[in-house]
Structure 1
Amino acid sequence: MNRRRPSRSATADELLTTLQHLTARARKEVELHQARVELAEALQRGMLPATLPALPGLQTAARYTPARSGLDIGGDWYDGFLLPDGSLGFAIGDVQGHDVEAAAFMGQIRIGMRAAASTAADPGEVVGRTNDLLLSVDSNLFATCTFLRFDPRTWELHSARAGHVPAVWLSAEGHSGIAEDEGGVPLGILAEQHYPVTRRRLTTAGAVVLVTDGVVEGPSFPIDAGLEQVREQVAALPHATADELADEVIRAARRTGHQDDAAVLVLRHDAAPGPG
């Protein structure tokens, strides 16, 4: 029996048509991915502050690097703003995920925390109200964060932590450490949570360095080791400016081989002024 073989021209036409369909589909997928990346980047740019507040005797600086996977964007954020009583509010946090949803959720947290801080002076209450607000929007995401309130009249720093990485502190004399302050559960998990507040009067000059876990944790690099690395970095620069410290600390993220996005927030402060 003789089998009829397709002509060469017919086979070539079919292959060309198939290739055209595949190329068109690939182009659409690339365009869709690019659109999602651009949307995520626009969300991130719009949600991170262009500047941070500062006062005589208080320098502030922050840095952010994107994730190395997903959309190269994520939910890490930092913030700083003036409060109605003249105090300054600062926040840093990390939302689960590296996509548009994470970036949008980060924006909700930032806006919600600013609103809560405008009516509540206690950082624990600010974090608690933000937590309840996020639960009310019924998202399946959660976030960690630290919120600080700096009072320029008393030179006190009050802070509350929701499952977030501990801060690193530095004194101008070269002493340093990791502030293992008591904290509560991450935001968006359980309602009506209590968040303990740590109060410090900044009696000596120094710095407070806050990071997200993308700075101190990598695929084979545990958080404890990363925090110790940051402590060593800042201890070696007791007289560095806030910008210099932020630049140095963000480099730690490259050393851990991180795949998460990463943020750093630095408060560089003088000693509390004496009486009168």
Structure 2
Amino acid sequence: MTRTWRIRTVTDAARARIAVARLAAAHGVTTVERARLTAELSGRLRQCLTKGGVWVLTLDGPSAGDGTLHAAVVPAPDAGAAGRTPWTMAVPCPEPGRVSDVGTVTEDPAVLSEALLGADEDTAAVLDKLAEQEELVAFHREELHQTNQGVLALHAELDAAGRAQREAFAAERRARNEAENARRRLMFLADASAVLNASLNHDEIVRRLPELLVPRYARHVDVWLFDQEDDRHPPTSHPRAATRAARTGRPQYAAAHPGGLPGVDDQPASALDPDRPLLCIPLLTHREPLGVLTLSPPGERWDPDDAVMLLELARRAGTAIDNARRFEHNRDIAETLQRALLTELPTTPGLSLAARYLPATHGLNIGGDWYDAFRQRDGGLITVIGDVTGHGLHAAVMMSQLRTALRAYAVDGDSPGRLLTRLHEYLRHLQPDLFATAVIARFHPDGHTLTWAAAGHPPPVLRLPDGRVRTLDAKPGAMLGIPLRQDIADHTERLAPGSTLALYTDGLVERRAQGIDPGIERLATALGSFGSAELDADLEGSADRLLPPLLSDSERDDDVCLLLCHLRG
């Protein structure tokens, strides 16, 4: 279906527009598409009328195969307007071919008015659609705004969460670093304490302090001990902060600026070294201050936690020095007592004596091992070797009491067995918590008879003139001082010239991993390796040569005592 209209005047344009609108409505074109078609057609026709001339409006379709209505405005062929651009437009028709004619549009004002009202209705419908779309757009705009606000809030929350996470990570790193530094300080403090307490020599402790602290915690270390300023040590100048620390017993920090160290008093910079900060820590004990430890920092200043660790180290160093000094004092007393107790051996015609005493290498150089030799009224010679249980000053005092008691009992001329029995009773009644072992050997005045008795002690070893060695292991008595009544028996041996008797304590033959029997065998073998002439000529030298193979270890856990009695040939 094709419709054509010639347009020359406004009336022609209005009639053509009305006819197109009616045809579009008749073919079921939607109100919006119809309004769009008529509006654009009106605008095109207005342009054509403005340009003048004759124009042709053509409306094609729709057909069954093409559900589209095509409109075109072109110049009339006879108008002489060739070359002008035609106007075309297509709108969909839901019901193509439904009508064939809409009637003739007259110039009646009523018809034109009706058409105008119909156009307004279409416009109103379009405006209603537009209002709906605007409401929908406003609704979606609000939704979009709310969504944007939620996204912004989410971004803010994520940003806050990110900051909190970063702060948590930073706090964790700081905590980890602080924990590692604390562990490092504790490890250093434990290792340094072990080094300081490993020695009982206070000079060694003072020497090790700078080695421990430089250069990790201090650039320079000075240890001022108060009692070292004597004739051997010329007086030296000390910083005023060190003197104040010695007088007040409180740590002092001397520098141009306050140190802010916990538990430390701030002082002006030292006049002796104004450019270097100084930390002066008193070396305190529970009795009195021993001195002052003065440190200079490895850098500009100390970390407060490092300073706290240095204060604790100084406290431990003061305790270690005090313990070492007390030990050295007790050791000097013990050595003096030991020298007083180990008497000189008597000189006897036809009989040579040689004794050796070696203290244990640990603890005080004194113990309960002892030896003695003295004459009786009838001319016989008593030799004794014993061992008081325990070690140290108490054992030495108890040993001295036993030695004195034995000499007192021996005045009566009792035999070795009787003497040991009386010592046993002495310990039972007067020292119930003290125990001892001993061997007593008596050389008779005839020079060829030996009477001996043992109480819980390693057996004597006898070397015969021909080099054979015997262990005198006849039934001994029990340990002295045990809560048991006993009568210790005597044993007698005939001696030939050239015989050698060895009395000793268990420190010479006993080893923890081997026991005592292998040690006694080693002693017998070593004693048998000497010749009679060698023993006659130099018993002292023989005693010196006898000890090294039996004491291969430089460290001894127990005292060693040896008494050699040689009957000269």
* CA distances 1:211-248 after superposition (whole Å, capped 9, x unpaired): 11000011223211111111111111022323233223
Matched ranges for 1:198-209 at <5 A: 198-209=491-502
TM-superposed CA distance for 1:116, in Å, is 1.0
Q: Which residue of 2 aligns with 1:181?
A: 474
Distance 1:232 1:203 in 2: 20
Matched ranges for 1:16-95 at <5 A: 17-49=311-343, 51-95=344-388
Give 5+ residue unaligned stretches, structure 1.
Answer: 1-6, 272-276
Query: Judging changes above 3 Å, is the alpha-carbon distance between structure 1 residues 115 and 192 closer, same or farther for their aligned structure 2 residues?
Result: farther
Q: Output the amino acid matched with 1:266.
A: L
Distance 2:447 2:373 in 1: 19
TM-superposed CA distance for 1:141, in Å, is 2.3
Structure number having the greater helix percentage: 2
TM-superposed CA distance for 1:189, in Å, is 1.2
Query: Does the CA-based 8 Å contact 2:465-2:496 persist in structure 1?
Result: no
Query: Does the CA-based 8 Å contact 1:154-1:201 persist in structure 2?
Result: no
Check if 1:254 corresponds to 2:547. no
Q: Output the amino acid matched with 1:33.
A: F
Distance 2:359 2:307 in 1: 45
Taking structure 1 as the reference length, the TM-score comes to 0.88
Q: Which residue of 1 aligns with 2:261?
A: 9
Q: Which residue of 2 aligns with 1:4?
A: none
Q: Which has the larger radius of gyration?
A: 2
Distance 1:165 1:77 in 2: 14
Q: Which residue of 1 aligns with 2:540?
A: 243
* CA distances 1:9-45 after superposition (whole Å, capped 9, x unpaired): 3336655544443332222211222122222222221
Give 5+ residue unaligned stretches, structure 2.
Answer: 1-258, 263-303
Query: Judging changes above 3 Å, is the alpha-carbon distance between structure 1 residues 191 and 252 closer, same or farther for their aligned structure 2 residues?
Result: farther
Query: Judging changes above 3 Å, is the alpha-carbon distance between structure 1 residues 173 and 33 closer, same or farther for their aligned structure 2 residues?
Result: same
Q: Which residue of 1 aligns with 2:486?
A: 193
Q: Which of 519, 536, 539 is residue 226 of structure 1 equivalent to?
A: 519
RMSD: 2.3
* CA distances 1:138-170 after superposition (whole Å, capped 9, x unpaired): 252211100111112353111110111011111
SS at match of 2:322: helix
Q: Which residue of 1 aligns with 2:106?
A: none
Query: Judging changes above 3 Å, is the alpha-carbon distance between structure 1 residues 78 and 252 closer, same or farther for their aligned structure 2 residues?
Result: farther
Query: Does the CA-based 8 Å contact 2:369-2:505 persist in structure 1?
Result: yes
Query: Does the CA-based 8 Å contact 1:172-1:204 persist in structure 2?
Result: yes
Q: Which residue of 2 aligns with 1:216?
A: 509
Structure ranking higher on relative contact order (CA contacts 8 Å, 6+ apart):
1
Q: Which residue of 1 aligns with 2:401?
A: 108
Q: Which of 400, 418, 432 is residue 125 of structure 1 equivalent to?
A: 418
Q: Which residue of 1 aligns with 2:72?
A: none
Moved more, 26-35 or 91-100: 26-35
Distance 1:191 1:117 in 2: 23
Q: Which of 443, 446, 450 is residue 157 of structure 1 equivalent to?
A: 450
Moved more, 33-42 or 253-262: 253-262
TM-superposed CA distance for 1:84, in Å, is 1.8
Q: Which residue of 1 aligns with 2:433?
A: 140
Query: Does the CA-based 8 Å contact 1:44-1:73 persist in structure 2?
Result: yes
Q: Which residue of 1 aligns with 2:568?
A: 270
TM-superposed CA distance for 1:172, in Å, is 2.1
Q: Which residue of 2 aligns with 1:274?
A: none
Distance 2:542 2:516 in 1: 19
Distance 1:270 1:96 in 2: 34
Query: Does the CA-based 8 Å contact 1:218-1:258 persist in structure 2?
Result: no
SS at match of 1:85: coil
Q: Which residue of 1 aligns with 2:66?
A: none
* CA distances 1:97-119 after superposition (whole Å, capped 9, x unpaired): 12111111111111111111111
Query: Judging changes above 3 Å, is the alpha-carbon distance between structure 1 residues 126 and 252 closer, same or farther for their aligned structure 2 residues?
Result: farther
Query: Judging changes above 3 Å, is the alpha-carbon distance between structure 1 residues 203 and 22 closer, same or farther for their aligned structure 2 residues?
Result: closer
- The number of residue pairs the alignment matches comes to 266
TM-superposed CA distance for 1:252, in Å, is 4.2
Query: Does the CA-based 8 Å contact 1:162-1:195 persist in structure 2?
Result: yes
Query: Does the CA-based 8 Å contact 1:131-1:191 persist in structure 2?
Result: no
TM-superposed CA distance for 1:185, in Å, is 0.8
TM-superposed CA distance for 1:124, in Å, is 0.9
Distance 1:138 1:203 in 2: 40
Query: Does the CA-based 8 Å contact 1:176-1:235 persist in structure 2?
Result: yes
SS at match of 2:328: helix
Q: Output the amino acid matched with 1:80.
A: A
Taking structure 2 as the reference length, the TM-score comes to 0.44
TM-superposed CA distance for 1:259, in Å, is 1.5
Q: Output the amino acid matched with 1:32.
A: R
SS at match of 2:502: strand
SS at match of 1:166: coil
Distance 1:205 1:17 in 2: 68
Query: Judging changes above 3 Å, is the alpha-carbon distance between structure 1 residues 208 and 102 closer, same or farther for their aligned structure 2 residues?
Result: same
